[in-house]
Structure 1
Amino acid sequence: MRVLVLGAGYAGLTLARDLERRLPADADLTVVNDAPHHLVQHEVHRAIRRPAVADAIQVPLDDALQRAEVVVERVEDIDRDARTVSLADGDALDYDYCAVCLGAETAYYDIPGLEAHSVPLKRLDHAADIRARFFDDCDEGGTIVVGGAGLSGVQVAGELAALRDEEDANTDIVLVEQLETVAPSFPENFQRAVRDELLDRGVELRTETAVQSVTETTVETDTGRFNYDMLVWTGGIAGNGAMAGERPPVRADLRIDPRTFVVGDAARVVDADGEPVPASASAALREAKTAAKSIAAQVEHDEYGDENDFPPRPNSYRFEVPGWIVSVGDGAVAQVGPSIFRGSAAKAMKATVGAGHLTSVGAVSHAVSLVEEELNT
Structure 2
Amino acid sequence: MHVAVLGAGYAGVAVTRKLESRLPPEVDITLVNEGADHVLVHEIHRAIRRPAVADAVSVPLVDLLDRAELVVDRVDDIDAEAGRAELASGDAVEWDYGAVCLGSETAYYGIDGLREHGTPLKSLDDAAAIREEFLDVVAEGDRAVVGGAGLSGVQVAGELAALAREEGAAGPDDVEVKLVEQLEEVAPNFPANFRRAVRDQLEERGVSVETGTTVERVTDDRLVTDAGEIAYDQLVWTGGIAGDDALDGDRPVVRADLRLTDRTFALGDAARVVDADGEAVPASASAAVREAETAAENVARLVEHDRADDDDFAPRLARYRFDVPGWLVSVGDGAVAQLGPTVLTGVAARASKASVGAGYLTGVGAVDRAIDLVEEELL
TM category (shorter chain) comes to: over 0.9
Please name the residue that 1:29 is paired with: 29
1:105 match: 105
Q: 1:129-153: per-residue Cα shift (whole Å, max 9, x none)? A: 0011012333331110000000000
Provide the residue aligned with 1:213 in structure 2: 217
Q: CA deviation at 1:38?
A: 0.3
Matched, 1:59 2:62: no
2:201 corresponds to:
197
Q: Output the CA distance in 2 between the equivalents of 1:198 and 1:137.
A: 19
1:297 to 296, 301, 315: 301
CA distance in 1, matches of 2:344, 2:81: 49
Give the Cα–Cα distance (whole angstroms) in 1 for the partners of residues 82 and 224 of structure 2. Answer: 46
Q: Does 2:363 align with 1:348? A: no
Deviation at 1:93, TM superposition (A): 1.1
Q: Does 1:273 find its partner at 2:281? A: no
What displacement does 1:24 show?
Answer: 1.1
Identical columns (%): 64
Residue of structure 1 in register with 2:315 after alignment? 312
* Distance in 1 separating the partners of 2:202 and 2:370: 27
Distance, in Å, in 2 between the alignment partners of 1:152 and 1:291 is 26
User: What does residue 174 of structure 1 align with?
Assistant: 178
Aligned counterpart, 2:82: 82
Alignment-mate amino acid for residue 235 of structure 1: G
Aligned partner of residue 165 in structure 1, secondary structure: helix
After superposition, residues 1-377 of structure 1 pair within 5 angstroms as 1-169=1-169, 170-303=174-307, 305-376=308-379
- TM-score (ref. length: structure 2): 0.98
1:191-223 per-residue CA deviation (whole Å, 9 max, x = no partner) reads 000010001010000000011111111111111
Letter in 2 for 1:227: A
Which whole-Å CA distance do the structure 1 matches of 2:57 and 2:81 have between them?
37
Equivalent residues of 1:139, 1:164 under 8 A apart: no
Equivalent-residue separation in structure 2 for 1:180 and 1:226 (angstroms): 17
The TM-score with structure 1 as length reference comes to 0.98
- The code of the aligned residue for 2:365 comes to G
* Cα shift at 1:12: 0.3
Take 1:231 and 1:208, find their aligned partners in 2: how far apart are those partners? Answer: 18
Whole-Å separation in 2 of the counterparts to 1:167 and 1:38 = 31
Q: Secondary structure at the match of 1:184?
A: coil
- 2:108/2:240 contact within 8 Å kept: yes
Question: Which ranges of structure 1 fall in alignment gaps of 5 or more residues?
Answer: none
Contact 1:3 1:28 survives alignment (8 Å): yes
Q: CA deviation at 1:306?
A: 4.2
Instruction: Say whether the 8 Å CA contact 1:179–1:209 is kept in structure 2.
Output: yes
Following superposition, the deviation at residue 48 of structure 1 comes to 0.2
RMSD (Å), alpha carbons: 0.8
